[in-house]
Amino acid sequence: MPTKTTLWLRAEHRASEARSPLTPGDAEQLLNAGIQVVVERSARRCFDDNDYLGLGCQLAEPGSWREAPSGAFILGLKELPDDSSPLPHRHIYFAHAYKQQPGAEALLQRFQHGGGELLDLEYLVDGNGRRLAAFGYWAGYLGAALGLLCWAAQQQHAELAMAPVSPWEDRQALLEHLRQVTASAVGQAPPRCLVIGAAGRCGSGARALLEALALPVTGWDIEETRGGGPFPDILQYDLLVNCVLLQGPMPPFLTLPLVSEASRRLSAISDVSCDPGSPYNPLPLYSECTSFGSPAQRLLEDGLPLDMVAIDNLPSLLPRESSADFSAQLLPALLQLPHFPAAPWQANRNLFLQHCQTLKES
């Protein structure tokens, strides 16, 4: 009798991560398809453990994925615990390991040593190369929101850091908060906003947020950036929301010498793509991500301040809405796991094997 396919939903290691790649309702659909679903308990996850249990999932202790059956698929979102232990399972998550990011080589070596495989959600694509499941819309939506909060904080107390942020109950609560904050920037004209990558999922989310607040927004995409930067015109906006995640080398959009010019109007940048460790970062102005507790870092202090928001799990600020959207997108691919490595997983697995081979040859 064939062994039943097991999907093991791990508890997220990162303290600020409340999202889930699988909702209880979509877990039930996997169960109905004959896939065993094990869910690690989590006090942070936006869905209650009992919601999964009541639909037929098995519950397990946090971190017990290490002892999961050898054939189990371990599903998560963000990074694994940072240690050197071998990884014998197939892991499905956003690993950020294929663009020379810090720690990427060590992570791939852990898979090699354990005999496991990385199935990176960033590279789970259809035949046209379009990602099958992405948080891009919500990342852009919240990236624009935090950029706006950063700008508003500057108008009120330019010498103070932007206040910490925490998840909102839903998008209406977020919009109401933003209306209150921007209204309190008494006497200030509305910020001029620029979204780069405006035609993509992420860019559409950023534009949706700004347009919901009736703010002036300009969108750039391939045509406006085709020649490569730097782009002095960016300095004439108050807020830049970058939604471009480069896959190869390209001249940066901004440089430190450029943003140091006295004629700059730009005071807030929200780098939604948030890839500071990659040589393909189009905004090489910073070296570390920011966090919910400290959302903005000051790049320039003298004269007009310039602050950078660079948080790599922005959709966790609207965890239930973003999780429901992502889980629905991912579900069709998860339903194909009993036929692994059939499409859409085959190309994803091949990419992992190619990177491992390159690692061996280097």
Helix (H) or strand (E) holding 269: strand 268-271
How far apart, in Å, are the Cα atoms of 153 and each of 29, 106, 182, 255, 298?
Answer: 45, 39, 9, 24, 12
Least confident of 22-36, 148-162, 193-207, 308-322: 148-162
Binding-site positions read 130, 200-201, 221, 225, 272, 311-314
Binding-site positions for NAD(+) read 130, 200-201, 221, 225, 272, 311-314
Region(s) of the chain under CATH 3.40.50.720: 6-132+319-361, 136-312
Q: Which amino acid is at 243?
A: C
Give the model's confidence band at 183: pLDDT under 50 very low, under 70 low, under 90 confident, else very high: confident
Over residues 301-315, mean pLDDT: 92
Nearest partner of 208 among 273, 282, 132, 148, judged by Cα:
148
Which residue stretches of the chain are H helix? 24-32, 49-53, 104-114, 136-156, 171-183, 201-212, 222-225, 256-259, 319-334, 345-361
Give the model's confidence band at 60: pLDDT under 50 very low, under 70 low, under 90 confident, else very high: very high
Please indicate whether residue 78 is annotated as part of the active site. Answer: yes
Catalytic: which of 13, 89, 91, 96?
A: 96
Nearest partner of 100 among 360, 359, 313, judged by Cα:
359
What is the predicted pLDDT for the residue at 246? 77
| Mean pLDDT score across all residues of the chain | 93
Query: Is the pLDDT assigned to residue 359 strictly greater than 60?
Result: yes
Q: Residue 189 in contact with residue 40, Cβ under 8 Å?
A: no
Over residues 11-25, mean pLDDT: 95
Burial of 123 (0-12, 13-18, 19+ CB in 10 A): middle
Least confident of 145-154, 183-192, 253-262: 183-192
Superfamily of domain 6-132+319-361: NAD(P)-binding Rossmann-like Domain (3.40.50.720)
Superfamily of domain 136-312: NAD(P)-binding Rossmann-like Domain (3.40.50.720)
Alpha carbons within 13 A on the beta-carbon side of 197: 26
Least confident of 24-38, 39-53, 214-228: 214-228
What is the predicted pLDDT for the residue at 186? 58
Query: Is the pLDDT assigned to residue 1 strictly greater than 70?
Result: no
Q: Residue 292 in contact with residue 166, Cβ under 8 Å?
A: yes
Give the model's confidence band at 2: pLDDT under 50 very low, under 70 low, under 90 confident, else very high: low
Catalytic: which of 13, 78, 99, 177?
A: 78
Name the DSSP class of 66: G
- C-alpha 29/C-alpha 16 separation (Å) is 28
What is the predicted pLDDT for the residue at 205? 98
Percentage of the chain modeled with pLDDT above 90: 81
Please indicate whether residue 89 is annotated as part of the active site. Answer: no
How far apart, in Å, are the Cα atoms of 112 and each of 72, 104, 184, 281, 341?
Answer: 17, 13, 55, 28, 18
Query: Is the pLDDT assigned to residue 227 strictly greater than 60?
Result: yes
- C-alpha 289/C-alpha 107 separation (Å) is 19
What is the predicted pLDDT for the residue at 261? 85
What is the predicted pLDDT for the residue at 99? 81
Least confident of 22-36, 59-73, 176-190, 229-243: 176-190
